[in-house]
A and B are shown apart, each in its own frame.
Chain A
Amino acid sequence: MKIHSVGFLSALIYTTVALTAAGLFLAVTLSGEYSWVARIGGAGWVFLLSMIVLMPTVTSLVKRKHQA
């Protein structure tokens, strides 16, 4: 696997997982009485923090797998 494809694969994984987390958050809020600001803002914050957590971990995991 080429270096740039490692980056692309990592980005694909962490973005997908972070989007899923944000989507899940949004889905849960739909069952409660939350304003749309809270729903969208909350989903945005969950997406941001998930990305921050996942970017370095997923990238290093994929790199390690690629090197192995």
Chain B
Amino acid sequence: MATTQDLKKAYLSIEGMTCASCVAHVEEALKGVRGVKGVVVNLATGKASVDYDPAQASLAAMKKAVDEIGYKLVLNTANLQVTGMTCASCVEHVQKAVGDLPGVTKVVVNLASGSARVEYLPEITPLSEIKRAIQEIGYGAVERAEGQEALDREKEARQREIRRQGINLIISWSIGLLVMLGTFQPYWFLPSIIPEWMNNKVLLFFLTTPIVFGPGRQFFINSWNGLKRGLTDMNLLYATGIGAAYLIAVINTFWPDAGFGGREATFYEAAALLTAFIILGRYLEAVTRGRTSEAIRRLMKLQPKRARVLREGQELDIPAEEVQIDDLLLVRPGEAIPVDGLVQEGYSSVDQSMITGESIPVEKEAGDEVIGGTINKTGAFKFRATRVGKDTALAQIIKLVEDAQTTKAPIQKIADKVAGHFILGIHVLALVVFLFWFFVGYGLWFVPESRLILTPYLLAGMGVFGFALLTSVTVLIISCPCAVGLATPSAIMAGSGKGAEHGILFKGADAMEATARLNVVIFDKTGTLTKGQPSVTDVVALGRLTQDEVLHLTAVAEKNSEHPLGEAIVHGARERGLEAEDAESFNAIPGHGVEAQLDGRSILLGNRRLMAEREVALDGLVPEAERLESEGKTAMFVAVNGEPAGIVAVADTLKETSALAVKELHRMGLKVAMITGDNRRTAEAIARQVGIDRVLAEVLPEDKANEVKKLQAEGLKVAMVGDGINDAPALAQADVGIAIGSGTDVAKETGHVILVKDDLMDVVAALQISRQTLRLIKQNLFWAFGYNTLSIPIGAGLLYPFFAQMVSPELAALLMATSSLSVTLNTLRMRGYIPPIRRSRARRGQMAVPARQLAH
């Protein structure tokens, strides 16, 4: 049995999904493939995230499963120039070597042109592996120029869909409007401007038929494909609605006495406009899908194509993907930095806004880190590559954002489940409504003078079957939740993209939703609220020792410590000209202090608890320690040979934005707490300075997670903000772990939310983006779901007994299309969104926000 570690993850692009039911079908089909352990499909991205056991599941099997249910797996195609092939058996060899790779579904090798066309999935088998497989059997393989266009394949597929639906839209609307004018010719003022022959039923039949079987054909084909495999989707609702309206019209045209209302009730305009409105919805959804994935495409475009490498004294211009670790690279002004690295010589300023969201260029000199994908502004410099390919910061960020976009928020899981059952439920309801109006309603309430809302039709000629059928069809159309499939994922994509734009990376849709629901934010003190670079402020000596002697001894004890306070003491001693020699022995006591031996003297340095444990009497030192602590300083007691020797006080400085961030969080209605290993007095002094209302002091590193748990037990949704390494258990325990200042190695972070910059205001921005996204999701779900649901009783004829008015099928379709339009427009609003905290900082000049964005 495969363990979790044996499992691999692949992201498959699926073409042809149109609604939440499609998502369920694809998920089910992929789950049915042997060796596939988990599948999450996102309608907005058109992607399926598949966890699979490579020993059992193959890409070919997944492709087959997806193809079988009527969808299409989008694969990359590479055109390779293969050199060294001389005969048919060479073709066979290359074919087999490439065909056996796990991520390749198809390979066609052409001896005459010396080429190989490979259909593959780069997440499973990257192109470099395909080339290596060919090279290993003795042939040469290089990528043909057109192969690089494969990156845009997904975009092309989207544009194809937009174009297809656009053509359908033009056909259905242009002819549909003619049908409508023709149908309504005898009414209102229309006889004076429209000739009578336009109302000829046979002409209307010939105008409507191409709409139903042209642009509308997709609904019949898709629903039939689904039904054959026992699957229902929204296409079925459309097909039954359009089909029934068209059928009634045809019967009334050619057999007017059949009891469906006669020639005066030919609903050609209903069939035509119904198709037109549904296609309008489809078109809008295709446009939304394209727009919401722009963020990821923008990130991908940042990846530079070429690099200038210095090898053996020569400057070579090579593809960026061929740069290797330790290569020396040259970057000139205005060029993009191809990979991550360390500056070796030169000086320049670099625009890192695309990665960190910070648009003020950052100065770079020898020893500084540079990030691939950022733009060199002023000078030229040389740097050594430290991370290449999929390990670069940009590649990691793209993967994180992609991962986030393929996950499902808890709210979406509920929506998908409901949508899945909704369609069947609607058909059951349509059946019940039909039976009710057929056997009960028509006899009780039918009034021959009644009308369809907003149409001139009198229902006088309508028989019991025609009336019940009309109501049943209207229910089918009016209740279709066609926009529900896009409602949540499109908002999540827009939100996660917006986060990435500001250097805030959400690891999943669930993280984004949880962030929006937070009640408490706990900040770690050292390195999070403070700069994490403390310095020695006071030295108190007791007895015969001088201040310098006390500091010297503590520096010796802390020399091997990696704790920031220890480093501060060693640094402080050095500043006073005291060089700390190596201790004979050293022992760190986590959360308490250190002990060391020097020249036969035992040095103990730490907090009250440590001194109490070692039975060191602190009587003379306590008042002085309390004074220092009340000033927010960390007082560390020093004991030599078991006797109190003095105090060394160290203080850390607060970050410039700490107080402002806390204030903003309070303003947003959150409680803010601070967690620290410091004693309560020091912690409270710091908390007072930044305005924090709850202090969790004297907490050992291993107990931080327990403190988070205690707050969660109070029913609070807790975020822990800290650095991703030291605070990992607490970050993992929190509802949302926010790892701050991770820099460029984002993949190693433990948190659910990764902040690239070391800026507490990004915590506020993360909350604002996630809240805005959740707000958007709720609004979208309302427009997609609630709106239709509210219309169902009206469609079912609830108003008829009181007002003798029925909703016509085309009005039902208009209501349905309105929900798609609302979702589309609502989601697109996120494109111009700037977190308020960024907007206000930009106004204060602390951070530049592009003028284009501020204009929104």
Contacts and interface: CB of A to CB of B under 8 A. Distances in A.
B240 A52 contact: yes
A56 B424 contact: yes
A10 B227 CA distance: 12
Interface stretch (B229-237, B280-288, B363-371): B229-237
B464 A49 contact: no
Given A37-B259, A48-B240, A28 B427 contact: no
Contacts of A38: 259, 438, 463-465
Which size class do B's interface residues fall under? Answer: 20 to 34
B258 interface: yes
B227 A52 contact: yes
B381 interface: no
Nearest to B465: A38
A64 B434 CA distance: 31
Interface in B235-258: 236, 240, 244, 258
A57 interface: yes
A17 interface: no
Nearest to A61: B230
Interface in B433-459: 434-435, 438-439
A34 B438 CA distance: 10
A8 B221 CA distance: 22
Interface in B603-623: none
A60 B229 CA distance: 10
A37 B430 contact: no
Contacts of A35: 259, 463, 465
B424 A46 contact: no
Interface residues of A, number: 24
A57 B427 CA distance: 12
Contact of B434 (A10, A46, A52): A46
Nearest to A43: B465
A25 to B, nearest CB: 8
Interface string A29-59: 0001011011001100110111011011111
B731 interface: no
B428 A53 contact: yes
Contacts of A53: 424, 427-428, 431
A10 B230 contact: yes
B227 A45 contact: no
Contacts of B431: 46, 49-50, 53
A41 B248 CA distance: 11
Nearest to A32: B439
Contact of A52 (B232, B258, B435, B463): B232
B248 to A, nearest CB: 10
Contacts, number: 65
B472 interface: yes
B424 A57 contact: yes
Contacts of A55: 227, 230, 232
Given A52-B236, A52-B240, A42 B465 contact: yes
Contacts of B229: 59
B258 A42 contact: no
B259 A45 contact: no
A45 B258 contact: no
Contacts of A37: 258-260, 463, 465
> Which of B230, B232, B430, B439: most chain A CB closer than 10 A?
B230
B468 interface: yes
B642 to A, nearest CB: 73
Contacts of B435: 25, 46
Contact of B430 (A41, A49, A56): A49
Contacts of A60: 230
A65 to B, nearest CB: 14
> Which of B229, B232, B260, B464: most chain A CB closer than 10 A?
B464
Contacts of A63: 230
Contacts of A46: 431, 434-435
B230 A49 contact: no
B296 interface: no
A50 B430 CA distance: 10
Contacts of A59: 229-230
A45 B434 CA distance: 9
Given A55-B230, A59-B230, A49 B465 contact: no
B423 to A, nearest CB: 9
B464 A34 contact: yes
Contacts of B227: 52, 55
B468 A49 contact: no
Nearest to A38: B465
Contact of B465 (A41, A57, A58): A41
Nearest to A58: B230
Contacts of B472: 45, 49
> Which of A38, A53, A59: most chain B CB closer than 10 A?
A38
A55 B260 CA distance: 29
Interface in B196-251: 227, 229-232, 236, 240, 244
A62 to B, nearest CB: 9
B109 interface: no
> Which of A32, A52, A56: most chain B CB closer than 10 A?
A52
B104 interface: no
B230 A52 contact: no
A28 B440 CA distance: 13
Contacts of A50: 431
B469 interface: yes
Given A35-B463, A37-B258, A42-B468, A49 B439 contact: no
Nearest to A63: B230
A39 B198 CA distance: 34
Contacts of A56: 230-232, 424
B186 to A, nearest CB: 26
B549 to A, nearest CB: 80
Given A38-B259, A52-B240, A56-B232, A45 B469 contact: yes
24 contacts: A10-B230, A25-B435, A34-B465, A37-B259, A37-B463, A38-B464, A38-B465, A41-B469, A42-B434, A42-B465, A45-B244, A45-B434, A45-B469, A46-B431, A49-B427, A52-B236, A52-B240, A53-B428, A55-B230, A56-B230, A56-B231, A56-B424, A58-B230, A59-B230
- The 4 closest A-B CB pairs, nearest first, are A59-B230, A38-B465, A37-B259, A49-B431
Interface of B: 227, 229-232, 236, 240, 244, 258-260, 424, 427-428, 430-431, 434-435, 438-439, 463-465, 468-469, 472
Given A42-B465, A42-B468, A59-B229, 19 more contacts: A35-B259, A35-B465, A37-B259, A37-B463, A41-B259, A42-B469, A45-B244, A45-B465, A45-B472, A46-B431, A46-B434, A49-B430, A49-B472, A52-B232, A52-B236, A57-B424, A58-B230, A59-B230, A63-B230
